[in-house]
Amino acid sequence: MDYEKYRRSFIMLAPQGGDGAAEGSQAEGCLKVETGNNKGALRCVVKNLNYGQEDAYDYQLLFLGKKKEKIIHALFGQIKINGKGNGEAYYRFDPLNMDGKGNAYHDFTVAIVAASSRTDPREPLHPVLRGTAPGEGQGREALCGDEEQKGEGPGAEA
């Protein structure tokens, strides 16, 4: 088996504040990302989040980055939390078009788990966990394992 076609990364998520974390504990989490062959899979695991109270939050996973002086974002979706405050989510994505607008996985540098209010849709998101994605400087061939794609795109030598 050829395991070199796939690239795996592990992103530790550090706590960002008190909003969304369960009382008396500190929120923690991680992301496991695997890309290759124009496919991507991401598993998000979180612990010690606030759940069960009326004023509790829903939790969203999103990625942020900067491309050509513009801030880009990709919202992956909701993370289901159990009664103990632990949760897990699994997503499949296209590493070359992560947000549906042509932005690749390597364009995103920050992964955030944010709390959104269940009762007030106008309330801003509260970042609970944050991690730095190892995307900067990786090209298309590193993400997809395509040997024939080398040399394409901006910055390629002619």
Can you give the pTM of this predicted structure?
0.78
Q: Which residues contact 84 (CB under 8 A, 6 or more apart)?
A: 51
Backbone angles phi, psi at 20, to 5 degrees: 95, -20
pLDDT tens digit sequence for 12-68:
999 987 566 667 778 899 999 999 988 999 999 999 888 766 667 889 999 999 988
pLDDT tens digit sequence for 54-89:
667 889 999 999 988 899 999 999 999 888 889 999
Tell me, what's the pLDDT at 154?
Answer: 40
Gap between the Cα atoms of 45 and 32, Å rounded: 9
